[in-house]
Homo-oligomer: A and B are copies of this chain.
Amino acid sequence: MTHIDGFNYIGTVVCKSGEARFQAVNPQTGQALPTEFFSATLEETDLAMTKAQKAFLQLKKILPAQKARFLEEIAHQIEALGEPLIERAHQETALPTGRLIGERGRTCNQLRMFANLVREGSWVEANIDTAQPERQPLPKPDIRKILVPIGPVVVFGASNFPLAFSTAGGDTASALAAGNPVVVKAHNAHPGTAELVAKAILKAVEICEMPEGTFSMVHDSGYTVGKLLVTHPLTKAVAFTGSLAGGKALFDLANQRPEPIPVFAEMGSINPVFLLEEALAKRAETMGQQYAQSVTLGTGQFCTNPGLLIGVKGAHLNTFIASFSQTLHDIAPSSMLTPQIQKNYQAHLEKALHQNGIDVIASASGTSNPQKSEAQPVIASTEAKVFLNNPTLHEEVFGPYTLLIQCNDTTEMQQVADALQGQLTVTVMAEAEELGETQQTLVTTLEEKTGRLIFNGVPTGVEVCPSMHHGGPYPATTDSRFTSVGTSAIKRFARPLSFQNTPEAILPEALRNQNTQDIWRLVNGEWSKENI
């Protein structure tokens, strides 16, 4: 099962009829890795969606317990892939094996978390209002509402999380958990990793007797297959993690369909960090170290990488700068995910640094080697006025780079806050006593700008739990009302359906009088686990 053959896996059918082929590249060597991958053809893409739709109708009959077992079996099969998965992922992404082992753990935990959610069952938001036949002037009918799966979901693998946001990542796990079939467009930077994981999923499909077509995976080195999937009439939703340009293109494509469909695109952000006065006074040095580490963690390739630091000029900010610079100085340049991502980093970095009024404060002392796709960690500095007047500086530079805005006073700091676009995260480094009335306006402003507000921490590291919101106002995502991390991610792929005066036999089990699944239900306005 750990052999990589480069085929498209469409339900139980192995497809390799296309003429276009491509190879993965080891970013650390610039060399192509052995296997040739077949880009899917139009027919193969269509087959994946047709099978998905067929599976969708069958999936509706499958009970929560079986769905939960299926998700757990996927986790088990991924673990069973063992060392070869980590090795291949390392070759394709240059991510350290330790990190990849952690990411595999997270991927399997996510699958098991959704298994538990599905097994427990209350996520369907069962809602029952019983009839009042005697009500005047009109009788009240019996109405019962439940979340039902939305239909075939297309998931795009993400370059920066080859496991946790790719083939069997959070998007796939949550879409399957909701009862939808999934077609994955594998990321062309790690097609071998994708294939291994796809085979693990398909093994689980077989073992758990899930309908054929519940899962498919297709390859493409370019954009053709992705476009075909998003515009396919049977596709009902799309999940994507990547760049603003990529996510926005899919969003526009989906909205221009005869039947528009939702695109949940998480498109990154610059994740501003506000360094307040008292915090700097007390712990500027520690904060400098902490943030130099956060900016360069994983070669700066996290969606929540802190790309903007904001503080008021002064001795304490200087201490922060010195500490940050010193830590950065000692960080060794490391390889990015792909040679192209390294090139993009270089280009965006140069563009950012060539803007008027931008000064490089510090850089890692080691020289990065572009042949190894290595990125040079850099911190630059500017004045608030420069930032406020230059939209280019509001754009993400994907990689180990951050821009420090040195404000003249807190008024300027507030102006920077006002000028921010939507963000995945905003962080405030502050002492409790300085968060009173004086900073209330700042905090209120920041709440409007973000999906997650962090105090005295770093934005890198996204906890997977029910209270996590990994999303945020545009351009951080295309839909601020939904998260791609945590149990609530399942809500993206379900829609409410009301049943009026419906015979028990027709009702979904969760809506019947007997609460056999022992789930929480809103019954005549009260939360309850009782039978009707």
In the assembled complex, 16 residue pairs joining A and B whose CB atoms fall closer than 8 Å, in A order, are A129-B463, A251-B260, A262-B479, A435-B506, A450-B497, A452-B499, A453-B497, A453-B499, A455-B500, A457-B500, A466-B522, A467-B498, A471-B495, A481-B495, A481-B496, A527-B527
Q: How far is the CA of A453 from the CA of B443 in the complex (A)?
A: 45
Q: In the complex, identify which listed stretch (A140-148, A211-219, A322-330, A407-415) lies at the interface while the others stay far away.
A: A140-148
Closest 8 CB pairs of A and B: A469-B498, A145-B467, A452-B498, A454-B500, A127-B467, A469-B496, A143-B467, A129-B467
Measured between beta carbons, the chain B residues less than 8 angstroms from A259 are 422, 473-475
Residue numbers in B under 8 Å from A478 (CB-CB): 260
Residue of B nearest to A248 (CB): B260
CB-CB < 8 A to A499: which residues of B? 452-453, 455
Q: Would you list which residues of chain A between 161 and 214 have a CB under 8 Å from chain B?
A: none
Q: Which residues of B contact A463 (CB under 8 A)?
A: 129, 140-141, 143
> How distant is the Cα of A475 from the Cα of B525 in the complex, in angstroms?
30
What sequence of 0s and 1s flags, for each residue 44-61 of chain A, a beta carbon within 8 Å of any chain B beta carbon? 000000000000010010
A496 with B525: in contact, given A466-B127, A478-B260 (CB under 8 Å)? no
A518 within 8 A of B: no
A60 to B440, CA, bound (A): 12
Contact yes or no, A469 B497, CB < 8 A: yes
Residues of B within 8 A of A422 (CB): 259
Q: A141-B463, A143-B465, A455-B500 are in contact. List 5 more A-B contacts (CB 8 A).
A: A262-B481, A450-B497, A454-B501, A455-B506, A481-B496
Q: Mark A417-448, 1 if CB is under 8 A from B, else 0.
A: 00000100000000010011000000110011
CA distance A481 to B453 in the complex (A): 26
A305 contacts partner chain B, Cβ-Cβ < 8 Å: no
